[in-house]
Amino acid sequence: MNRTHQHTILIALLACCLLSSCSMSEGRKKAEQQKLQLSSNTTQGVTKPSQPVSARLDTVSYNALLRHLVHDTAKGGWPAKTAYPLPGAILPYHRIVAYYGNFYSSGMGILGALPPQQMLAQLKSEAAKWHEADTSIPVLPAIHYIAVTAQRSPGKDHGYRLRMPFTEISKAIDLANSINGIAFLDVQVGHSTVQEEIPRLDSFLLMPNVHLAIDPEFSMKDGSIPCSKIGTMDAADVNFTVSHLAALVRQHHLPPKILIVHRFTKGMLTNYRNISTCPEVQIVVNMDGFGFPAKKVSSYDLAIRKEPVQFAGFKLFYDNDKKTPPHRLMRQDEILKLYPSPIYIQYQ
* Contact between residue 263 and residue 296 where contact means Cβ atoms under 8 Å apart: no
- Residue 315: exposure state from Cβ atoms within 10 A (0-12, 13-18, ≥19): buried
- The mean pLDDT value for 280-292 works out to 97
> pLDDT tens-digit profile of 172-213?
999 999 999 999 999 999 999 999 999 999 999 999 999 999
pLDDT of residue 310: 98
Question: In this structure, which CATH number among 3.30.230, 3.20.20, 3.10.620, 1.10.3470 belongs to the domain 3-347?
Answer: 3.20.20
* Contact between residue 131 and residue 45 where contact means Cβ atoms under 8 Å apart: yes
- The mean pLDDT value for 287-302 works out to 96
- The mean pLDDT value for 106-127 works out to 96
Bond into 342 cis (ω within 30): no
Q: Is the pLDDT of residue 246 over 70?
A: yes
- Rounded mean pLDDT of the chain? 88
Cα 240 from Cα 159, distance rounded (Å) = 19
What pTM value is reported for the model? 0.87
* Contact between residue 284 and residue 261 where contact means Cβ atoms under 8 Å apart: yes
pLDDT of residue 204: 98
Contacts of 124 by beta carbon, 8 Å cutoff, 6+ apart: 46, 141, 179
Q: Is the pLDDT of residue 6 over 80?
A: no
Domain boundaries, the chain: 3-347
| More confident position, 98 or 2 | 98
> pLDDT tens-digit profile of 130-184?
999 999 999 999 999 999 999 999 999 999 999 999 999 999 999 999 999 999 9
Q: Is the pLDDT of residue 258 over 50?
A: yes
Q: Percent of the chain scored above 90 by pLDDT? A: 82
Cα 130 from Cα 123, distance rounded (Å) = 11
pLDDT of residue 29: 43
pLDDT of residue 25: 37
pLDDT of residue 53: 52
Cα 25 from Cα 108, distance rounded (Å) = 28
